[in-house]
């Protein structure tokens, strides 16, 4: 049996602000659909139209099988500039309220700011996805007060500069130790051990080779005893390996996501929800194929 099935079956169902997220190994990995609400995602730029467009995108992703919608108002792409708390609130809060009113889905807030965490959960978010792993001043306290599950992601440096010259002696051990330390900080801050998720942060201060090592050794992160979330969708390492631009990376992203599942990921963060849901279903069917089934039917 693969290690991730024998070692990490402890977690199963997460309570996300009134909605349940079943992560038990008896069900396929879940897909988290990406919903960017940054001005550059919309040609018109108007806030009202943005909220409307965002709801339509969310509804589409829910129809395609997303279990979670990850709403982000601060671009964390390599090279991106920071945004003020008020600007981020203005972008994400109307979108979260609208999704909560219109869709039966768990909403994740992609933020590092304590004020945004608080307001987003009040507005209906059921999970916090923080690429800074609650390192911002006040973030541990804010997340603790909300009580919702938190995804702790590893990032070396900050988005503006993180891809300059990433270096590690051992990327897997460095990232694993970092996540272990953040888990300890969360527990010390009163965050329940069983609401934490971990993510090695594919593409965040890592070279292509670093990213490949993280995928190949993902079961090490599952060994932390928390559900593993992984985001590889359309990322530049996939582009570089294939020589493909962002809109040509679907097949590469799907294979990479499937491998992440094989190595123990329980949630896949993706732009292309329908194709990713197909992948996790096929992964699950093969993984749970019953060798005795033919005989039983005779
Ligand atoms: C993640 O992995 N990623 S934002 C560059 C791209 C394509 C996509 C150059 N938030 C993650 O999606 N949260 C982001 O093409 C995340 N894990 C978690 N937990 C970056 C992104 C992207 C960047």
Residue by residue, DSSP assigns 215-281 as: HHTHHHHHTTTS-EEEE-TT-HHHHHHHT--GGG-HHHHHHHHHHHHHTTEEEEEES-HHHHHHHHH
Which phi and psi angles does 268 have, rounded to 5°? -115, 125
For residue 5, what pLDDT is reported?
39
What is the pLDDT confidence band of residue 61, given thresholds at 50, 70 and 90?
A: very high
Domain 4-292: CATH class, spelled out: alpha beta
Is the separation of the CB atoms in 139 and 114 below 8 Å?
yes
For the Cβ of 260 lying below 6 angstroms from any atom of ligand 1, the answer is: no
Q: Rounded mean pLDDT of 89-109?
A: 97
CA distances from 214 to 6, 69, 221, 264, 296 (A): 20, 24, 9, 12, 40
Question: Which residues are known catalytic residues?
Answer: 235, 269
Considering only CA atoms, which residue is closest to atom 7 of ligand 1?
Answer: 235
For residue 164, what pLDDT is reported?
80
Distance CA 287, CA 159 (A): 36
Mutating to test ligand 1, I would choose from 77, 92, 226 the residue with most ligand atoms within 8 A of its C-beta, which is 77
- 109-118 tens-digit pLDDT: 999 999 999 9
What is the pLDDT confidence band of residue 296, given thresholds at 50, 70 and 90?
A: low
CA distances from 111 to 30, 36, 50, 150, 151 (A): 21, 12, 18, 11, 11
- 138-169 tens-digit pLDDT: 999 999 999 999 999 999 988 887 888 888 99
| 26-55 burial: b if 16+ Cβ within 10 Å, else e | eebbbbbbbbbbbbebeeeeeeeebbebbb
pLDDT above 90 as % of the chain: 81
For residue 44, what pLDDT is reported?
53
Distance CA 290, CA 242 (A): 35
User: What's the pTM value of the predicted model, to 2 decimals?
Assistant: 0.93
DSSP H/E element including 173: helix 171-188
What is the pLDDT confidence band of residue 80, given thresholds at 50, 70 and 90?
A: confident
Considering only CA atoms, which residue is closest to atom 8 of ligand 1?
Answer: 235
Quick one: DSSP state of residue 19?
E
- 202-235 tens-digit pLDDT: 999 999 999 999 999 999 999 999 999 999 999 9
Distance CA 151, CA 222 (A): 13
Mutating to test ligand 1, I would choose from 112, 131, 242 the residue with most ligand atoms within 8 A of its C-beta, which is 131
């Amino acid at each position: 049996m693969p290690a991730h099935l024998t070692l990490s079956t402890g977690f199963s169902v997460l309570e996300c602000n009134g909605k349940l997220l079943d992560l038990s190994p008896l069900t396929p990995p879940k897909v988290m659909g990406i919903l960017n609400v940054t001005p550059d995602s919309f040609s018109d730029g108007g806030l009202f139209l943005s909220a409307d467009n965002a709801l339509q995108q969310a509804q589409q992703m829910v129809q395609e099988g997303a279990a979670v919608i990850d709403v982000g108002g601060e671009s964390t792409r390599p090279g991106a500039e920071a945004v003020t708390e008020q600007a981020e609130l203005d972008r994400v809060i109307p979108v979260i309220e609208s999704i909560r009113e219109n869709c039966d889905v768990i909403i994740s807030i992609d933020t590092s700011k304590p004020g945004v965490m608080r307001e987003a959960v009040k507005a209906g978010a059921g999970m916090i996805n923080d690429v800074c792993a609650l390192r911002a001043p006040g973030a541990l306290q804010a997340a603790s007060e909300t009580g919702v599950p938190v995804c702790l992601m590893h990032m070396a440096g900050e988005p503006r500069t993180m891809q300059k010259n990433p270096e590690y002696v051992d990327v897997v051990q460095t990232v694993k130790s970092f996540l272990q330390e953040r888990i300890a900080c969360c527990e010390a801050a009163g965050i329940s051990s069983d609401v934490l998720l971990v993510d090695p942060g594919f593409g965040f201060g890592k070279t292509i080779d670093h990213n490949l090592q993280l995928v190949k050794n993902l079961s090490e992160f599952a060994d932390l005893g928390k559900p593993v979330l992984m985001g590889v969708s359309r990322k530049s390492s996939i582009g570089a390996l294939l020589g493909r631009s962002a809109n040509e990376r679907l097949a590469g992203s799907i294979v990479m996501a499937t491998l992440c599942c094989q190595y123990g990921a329980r949630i896949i963060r993706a732009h292309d929800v329908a194709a990713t849901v197909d992948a996790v279903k096929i992964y699950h069917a093969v993984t749970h194929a019953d060798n005795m089934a033919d005989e039983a039917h005779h």
